[in-house]
Structure 1
Amino acid sequence: MAMPDTGTPAKACVPPSAVGTAAPLLNQMTTALGWLDGMRLAWANMALLAMLGRSRLPASGLALDVLLDDAPRLADALARLSGEPSTARLPDLRLRAGGPATVVQLTRLDEGGVLLEAWPGEAPSAVPVSASLRSLAHELKNPLGGLRGAAQLISRRVLDADLRTYAQVIVDEVDRLAALTGRLLAAESRKPMAAVNVNGVLERLRLLLAADGVQVERDYDPSLPECLGDSDRLLQMFLNLGRNAVEAGASRVRLRTRHEHAAALPAGRAPALRVDLIDDGRGVPESLRSVLFLPLVSGREGGTGLGLAMAHEIASEHGGRIAFESRPGHTVFSTWLPVAPA
């Protein structure tokens, strides 16, 4: 079968016949397209080759486990495609070190192999969740003021002590919501980044999780270097990950820190701190794995779907990233943060 010069695959991994006949048309498309045989890219159109920074593929295809910094994430998605669903979406996947973030979609083909589609640009998970929350907070300010005034008026006019108590409950809850919206609006002017002892941040997290009845184990690297960041924002990120574990039924959480000399970060490989939050909960449902960090995605009834999206955003603010591995009884959320400049 004649194949285009942009990546003639080896006989060991031959793409579906439709690729050969449609290759000229596929090469004119601006959408990046490829055909995978396992973790080997067997064929790619011109748009995908441009993303990879290549003019053509080797005759035997291209081994993605060598090319990609985030190869385990791609391998995990491909493994899931052996069953249901037949598609998987991977936001924030970088197809080459230091390259731009891409959104990758994988589709299992009836003829065998997997179709890869990629779009340049920020993934949906990079939408600034905090900005959306601040907009919501702004809209809530006036109604909250009206509710408080009405509750105070009721409290003054009713004679029944129980009704006055309930009116005061409304006032107190409105005040609590007003304080929350105030904090969200104030977040627009964040404090400057400073050197942060991440082990110290995790100690604050440990106390908060212990208050929820969770058994917390510590495995800290005592020589862990500092990172550059906002300690309160970092605590919020780790707390969101911890609370996610609690909501997944975890009774035990282990906090582990390590120093990596060449970690895969959004800006490329560099020294980084790795924080692992390991829990014994139910694990991440298969149906949510490819969209877990998107806003409003939750596997819990009544969940807001904002905690993990916010954690992802905070990691991105600090030049870091979050990834996870999960099976029932053992889930690891790993966060990488750049080491502070010397």
Structure 2
Amino acid sequence: MDTNLLLNHLVTAVLVIDGELRPAYANAAAEQLLGVSSHKLKEQPLTDNLHMLVIDAKVLKSAITGQQGLTVNTTQLVTLDGQHHTVDLTLVPIEHDAEQPPHSVLELRQVDQQRRIHQQLTLDAQQQAAQFLVRNLAHEIKNPLGGLRGAAQLLSRELSDEHLREFTTLIIEQADRLRSLVDRLLGPQKPSLHKVLNIHMVIQKVLNLVSVTLPPNIRLRQDYDPSIPDLPMDEDQLQQAILNIVQNAIQALEQQKVGDIMIRTRTAHQVTIGTQRHKLALILSIIDNGPGIAPELVDTLFYPMVTGRKDGNGLGLSIAHNIARLHGGRIDCNSAPGHTEFSLTLPINLDQDNL
């Protein structure tokens, strides 16, 4: 069996490094974790490809040159693109000849991934329970609402006084508004017919739409991976999901002197979504430099009717989460003052014949 192929199927980031912390090998999980290609990782010491690693570089160098093992649990790692990770670090010396420089295997296992999987499963269960409640509530609301609207229409036809007709018109308008609210609460309920499309084309349609009314203090930037293959998707649904998140970012930046929104696409290897493992996935990140999300809202962010704005209805993120679920994907959020990132993860199936 090809050892390199085997290592690239591991979830754990594996690197082989020398006494100067220069990698001689990095598997696919290491590339994904650090956000740097294997080729570039080999060009310079590991510390130059990280923004922060809590473990002192001198400690790692000493352990490698002394051929000693090292284990550190739940240490913090920050990549060059600002991603924060909690990892378990293990350093294992490799047997070598006296003429060769010492090398060690460095394993970095993300422990925040297990937390994320648990959160997603919990969120999906709660979201489905909320949707079940909303569907039953919608049924109870729509029936009398339809009768109310019909009665108002009949009454309007019998009234000759224009002033009185204004009241029946008001009833009809409010009934329609409530019905529209219920429909938006429900959102899409089942997978629709998917077509194989380019994700960047979908993103660009959203950006063209929001650019028309974009405040002058906000800048939109794109950082796309052109190698991402076309995906099966419902174009309208994905546009809606991306639009909801982008609009949230714009609203968060309205009072800021200079706002910045980055739309970034990348691929990731060996990604777990729910309980299913995927060899390859698309990660679409929408990042803003706004004030961040209030801590008390983080755990309920994707629930219906949860919002941090006075004029918000709390439906945008709930609908986006549901659309991601219908596409076999997920949405994650990491937020701190100055950096809020929503990541839409969708599986990539390279076997197009099975789509």
**Where on the TM-score scale, by shorter chain, does this alignment land: which range?**
0.5 to 0.7
Give the equivalent residue in structure 2 for 1:239: 243
- Using the alignment, how far apart are the partners of 1:246 and 1:163 within structure 2? 42
| Residues 155 and 216 of structure 1, relative CA distance in 2, 3 Å threshold | farther
Unaligned runs of 5+ in 2: 1-53, 56-68, 78-82, 88-111
C-alpha RMSD over aligned residues: 4.0
Is 1:279 matched up with 2:301? no
Q: Which of 243, 256, 263 lines up with 2:263 in the alignment?
A: 256
- Deviation track 1:157-205 (CA, whole Å, cap 9, x = no partner) reads 4444244234224324434544665687794454233323211221232
- Using the alignment, how far apart are the partners of 1:169 and 1:148 within structure 2? 10
- Using the alignment, how far apart are the partners of 1:177 and 1:136 within structure 2? 12
- Using the alignment, how far apart are the partners of 2:298 and 2:190 within structure 1? 33
Q: Is the 8 A contact 1:254 1:278 kept in 2?
A: yes
- Using the alignment, how far apart are the partners of 1:64 and 1:268 within structure 2? 25
Q: Is the 8 A contact 1:237 1:314 kept in 2?
A: yes
Give the equivalent residue in structure 2 for 1:33: none
Q: Is the 8 A contact 1:271 1:338 kept in 2?
A: yes
Unaligned runs of 5+ in 1: 1-38, 41-57, 76-92, 104-120
Q: Any residues of structure 2 matched to 1:199-238 within 5 Å, and which?
A: 199-214=200-215, 215=218, 217-219=220-222, 220-238=224-242
Q: Which of 292, 301, 320 lines up with 1:311 in the alignment?
A: 320
User: What percent of counterpart residues are identical?
Assistant: 35
- Structure 1 position 318, deviation (Å): 2.4
- Deviation track 1:21-56 (CA, whole Å, cap 9, x = no partner) reads xxxxxxxxxxxxxxxxxx99xxxxxxxxxxxxxxxx
- Using the alignment, how far apart are the partners of 1:176 and 1:204 within structure 2? 27
Give the equivalent residue in structure 2 for 1:300: 309
- Using the alignment, how far apart are the partners of 1:335 and 1:255 within structure 2? 14
Q: In the alignment, residue 122 of structure 1 is paired with which amino acid?
A: L
- Using the alignment, how far apart are the partners of 1:249 and 1:189 within structure 2? 33
| Residues 223 and 160 of structure 1, relative CA distance in 2, 3 Å threshold | farther
| Residues 208 and 172 of structure 1, relative CA distance in 2, 3 Å threshold | farther
- Using the alignment, how far apart are the partners of 2:306 and 2:85 within structure 1? 19
- Structure 1 position 253, deviation (Å): 5.6
Give the equivalent residue in structure 2 for 1:320: 329
- Structure 1 position 314, deviation (Å): 2.5
Give the match's secondary structure for 1:228: strand
Is 1:122 matched up with 2:121? yes
| Residues 186 and 279 of structure 1, relative CA distance in 2, 3 Å threshold | closer
| Residues 318 and 187 of structure 1, relative CA distance in 2, 3 Å threshold | closer
- Structure 1 position 312, deviation (Å): 2.5
Larger Rg: 2
Q: Any residues of structure 2 matched to 1:67-146 within 5 Å, and which?
A: 72=84, 94-95=113-114, 101-102=117-118, 122-126=121-125, 127-128=127-128, 129-146=130-147
Q: In the alignment, residue 317 of structure 2 is paired with which amino acid?
A: L
- Using the alignment, how far apart are the partners of 1:74 and 1:293 within structure 2? 24
Give the equivalent residue in structure 2 for 1:193: 194
- Structure 1 position 148, deviation (Å): 1.0
Give the match's secondary structure for 1:277: strand
Give the match's secondary structure for 2:332: strand
- Using the alignment, how far apart are the partners of 1:59 and 1:224 within structure 2? 38
Q: In the alignment, residue 217 of structure 1 is paired with which amino acid?
A: L
Give the equivalent residue in structure 2 for 1:331: 340
- Deviation track 1:127-146 (CA, whole Å, cap 9, x = no partner) reads 22544443333222212212
| Residues 187 and 335 of structure 1, relative CA distance in 2, 3 Å threshold | closer
Q: Is the 8 A contact 2:188 2:323 kept in 1?
A: no
- Structure 1 position 325, deviation (Å): 3.2
- Using the alignment, how far apart are the partners of 2:153 and 2:146 within structure 1? 11
| Residues 191 and 332 of structure 1, relative CA distance in 2, 3 Å threshold | same
- Using the alignment, how far apart are the partners of 2:300 and 2:282 within structure 1? 25
Q: In the alignment, residue 300 of structure 1 is paired with which amino acid?
A: R
Q: Is the 8 A contact 2:278 2:347 kept in 1?
A: no
Give the match's secondary structure for 1:272: strand
